[in-house]
Structure 1
Amino acid sequence: MKRYFRNKYGRAALAGLLLFAVSCKKDYEDPSGPSFDEGVSTPNALTNIAVGLQNWHSANRTSLVYTTIAASSLLTGETYVVNAGNTDENQLYLGGNNVQNTNVIVTGMWGYANKIIFDANRVLNNTGTVVSDPNYASGLIAYTSMYKALAIGTMATFWNYVPDTTGLDLDVSFISSQQGFRKAIAIIDNALATVNANAISATFTRNIPAGIDIVNTLNALKARYALFAGDYELALATADKVSLTAVSAFNYNTLTTNPIFTLVTATNNIYQVVDSTMSLPLGLRPDPADKRYPFYVTISSNPRFRVKGFYTANIQSIPVFLPGEMTLIKAECYARLNDLANGLTELNKVVTKQPSADAAGVGAGLTAETAATVDELLNLIYKHRRIELFMGGLALEDERRFGRPQTERKRTYFPFPFVERNDNSNTPEDPAN
């Protein structure tokens, strides 16, 4: 029997995967795999698809982990290209119109995100009829929804419009990035409601890769995307539900390795951190005593500044979210709601935190900040988000949201890949920059 990736997004993902070897084909067949329908006919089959989402999300050069970190860090100046022969990364480093619609980072992120959504939909659309155990079904829905929300949120972070849905060879319509963030929130809300009705079974958690705290991650992503969508009340309330002692991370092993370490840190051939400023302008740069700087950046001889943080070993885990992100979300929400006092209180929880007091080991260990106005507070929040979440894939969205000058980034949004434009007449015009 043959398995067909009948949705063009499945084909797009595989096209990204095979870009170096073959031209794009209309269908990709796996003669050894089950048929398309058989692939969703049992709980085990659905679980296998769900588990595969983590590989699409986090395992290689065109996975969402690599592409989001590479794109955000290069576009915002956190990193620079060591070897210009890495053409796709170098396009991002140069920015502007140098970023082509065929760029492997752009096409890979787009294809993999849509492939994740497509596979997630297969799981979510069949769980109710295939899985009889409500607690197992709850885990399957929650885990799958997490990756679907991450995929939509990633596209909304890097494109000003995202597909509204997926279908079989249809010209899908597009929604704005802000609507995309709200769509991700709606997916998470459904998952959380499902878990509240039926707790996730231990049987399900034993069948998925270790490392992910599903419920805390769903709430963390909801808080993140609510902030990005400008729903500050919702973001504030949701961030407050996330345990700051929770550790939720993508785990790696000697077969499936940390892609940033494997491709970047170990080779020193693609990109490296720029310098001690952590890409921040005068007035916002790290304090020399900030303990987060030596956590994220190591000093060497050639080059002098090198990637560190969560990218120092091939089996090192990469967090899905950091505790400091949740606290900074609360600080920003208070500030944007004109509550200076509470915003400053939350900010200083991050500023004064010692590394040993943080579940991920990230701590500034500084004296408390002061701010006389909300605008001053927002500048400080931006500064500490950029340091606390360094090379975390969120810097580009932060620059846009805080209204930073265009000169501080190489490009604001990606162009749309030709793999989409050539198949979909509804694809929007590319953003100017």
Structure 2
Amino acid sequence: MKNITKYISLALLFISVSACNTEYLDPNSTLEPDVVNSTDNLIELINGVQKRWSSDRSGAVYTYASISGLNAGELRLLNPGNLGEAEIDLGGNNVNGSNELLINIWTNIMLCRKEATTVIDAANLATDDAQLANSLKAYGLFYRALSHGTLIQYFEQLPLEIVENGTFSNRTLVLESAIADLTEAKGYIASGLATSVTSSVFDSVDLENSVNALLARFNLMNGSYLAAIDAANDVDLTVQSTWEFDASVPNPLAFWFGSQNVTQAKDLSFGLPSSLLPDSNDERIPFYVTAEDLSIANPDYQVVGFFLDNLDEIPVYLPGEMLLIKAEAYAREDDLTNAVIELNKVLTKTSTSDAFGLAANLPAYAGNLTKEAILEEIYKNRRVELYLTGLSLEDSRRFNRPGATSADAERNRDYYPYPNTERDNNTNTPDNPTS
């Protein structure tokens, strides 16, 4: 494993330059020339983006897992003194633009987007070697798409341009932008990446498979079902792509779960209503959640899975997500036969046939062969298979589960207010959503 800490110093340089500018302006107007004119420094910047994304309590991995987990009932709050998490847990009007988690997810992902854009824009300036430049751009495009496609799951609109008082774009335009970036990156990957780049970036993230996985995810979110199926088919399900950690940069969720001071697993329901509870024999339940004594009432549930040890790697995507994307896309296209085929690949999957050992090991689907029933089963399995991946809020909305204002609500907000750090510096910031 590459030493993560040696890339932090350059990332901190970008933090110090960027953080003073809340609008995340054109990076080439603020960054030192020796950074953007050096391929070595651009490679280190890519590694800095990965570090910023995956580590620390302010990073994307912690914030999206915590926000969606508390919103959709995957997590319980242990200490209401953690005000940011406490407000997210309460939901509704208790959450406003001063919320710490919202500020963190917005600011750090926008900084990842800015730094990724720096790599894209500076690649041809830093080298005359087209393959080297395109390789740098492939990584930058991946992280920019990941940034846009993640933030739009929590906020109704985003500014796509890095300009002062940037105008906000709606969900469709944001997803189309992310898909275009990933498609461009896929073309560069197909042409062959320079080994001088691939040998120097953190190799835990498999770029080719991760690009295809995000294409599948974002096309599904955008209602482009056939494109989602095609992209999911291009993912090698035997390959692991992960966020990697070391002793000095630990798994942020494992670290804070281990502290027993912020959040923990709520129960064995995975945030599902009583009508959709997972099968008690589902082997994904003990993979993700445990307790010392499950026989007593209200045991002290604890998160395990990818979040038990500080060195545990967190998947960028899960193989089961690709199967469930295909199942859902087929179902929404009214191809129920293929939808059930893909769903059964998840239900019957064994630990030895999954790249991460994550498996339900259940019988094949035996429910009603209607679109509604099959989609409901797919939703249930997404909530269990993709526990704490940050996708639960997006899934709850997409499957039209009872929203935040419903009497039987399954989420406590539909979208989030824009952080005050954005509103105070961008006059084009839209009105906050009502729920």
> Shared fold by TM > 0.5?
yes
Residue 112 (1) aligns with residue 108 (2): yes
Q: 2:332 aligns with which of 327, 336, 339?
A: 336
For structure 2, the residue ranges without an aligned partner over 5 or more in a row are 1-12, 404-408
- Displacement after TM superposition at 1:237 (Å): 0.9
1:64-213 pair list within 5 angstroms:
64-167=60-163, 170-197=164-191, 199-213=192-206
Residues in 1 aligned to 2:49 and 2:95: alpha-carbon distance in whole angstroms: 27
Partner in structure 1 of residue 21 of structure 2:
11
Residue 408 (1) aligns with residue 410 (2): yes
Q: Judging changes above 3 Å, is the alpha-carbon distance between structure 1 residues 222 and 42 closer, same or farther for their aligned structure 2 residues?
A: same
User: Partner amino acid for 1:428?
Assistant: P
- Displacement after TM superposition at 1:355 (Å): 1.3
Q: Judging changes above 3 Å, is the alpha-carbon distance between structure 1 residues 234 and 10 closer, same or farther for their aligned structure 2 residues?
A: farther
Residues in 1 aligned to 2:391 and 2:14: alpha-carbon distance in whole angstroms: 35
TM-score (norm 1): 0.91
Q: CA offsets per residue over residues 315-340 of structure 1, 9 Å max, x none?
A: 11000000000000000000000011
Q: 2:292 aligns with which of 300, 303, 308?
A: 300
Residues in 2 aligned to 1:117 and 1:74: alpha-carbon distance in whole angstroms: 25
Contact persistence 1:164–1:174 (CA under 8 A): yes
Residues in 2 aligned to 1:159 and 1:228: alpha-carbon distance in whole angstroms: 14
Residues in 2 aligned to 1:164 and 1:140: alpha-carbon distance in whole angstroms: 21
Partner SS state of residue 182, structure 1: helix
Q: 1:240 aligns with which of 233, 238, 258?
A: 233
Residue 37 (1) aligns with residue 43 (2): no
Q: CA offsets per residue over residues 278-334 of structure 1, 9 Å max, x none?
A: 111122111010000000001136952111110010011000000000000000000
Partner SS state of residue 169, structure 2: strand
Residues in 1 aligned to 2:242 and 2:20: alpha-carbon distance in whole angstroms: 26
Partner in structure 2 of residue 272 of structure 1:
264
Partner in structure 2 of residue 29 of structure 1:
none
Partner in structure 2 of residue 19 of structure 1:
none
Contact persistence 1:10–1:111 (CA under 8 A): no
Partner in structure 1 of residue 223 of structure 2:
230
User: Partner amino acid for 2:220?
Assistant: L
Residues in 1 aligned to 2:143 and 2:261: alpha-carbon distance in whole angstroms: 30
Contact persistence 2:241–2:317 (CA under 8 A): yes
Residues in 1 aligned to 2:169 and 2:19: alpha-carbon distance in whole angstroms: 17
Partner SS state of residue 80, structure 1: strand
Q: Judging changes above 3 Å, is the alpha-carbon distance between structure 1 residues 13 and 88 closer, same or farther for their aligned structure 2 residues?
A: farther
Contact persistence 1:5–1:11 (CA under 8 A): no
- Displacement after TM superposition at 1:129 (Å): 2.4
- Displacement after TM superposition at 1:12 (Å): 3.7
Identity %: 36
For structure 1, the residue ranges without an aligned partner over 5 or more in a row are 15-25, 27-33
Paired positions, count: 410
Q: CA offsets per residue over residues 108-156 of structure 1, 9 Å max, x none?
A: 1000111111111111011012123333323211222211111111110
TM-score (norm 2): 0.91
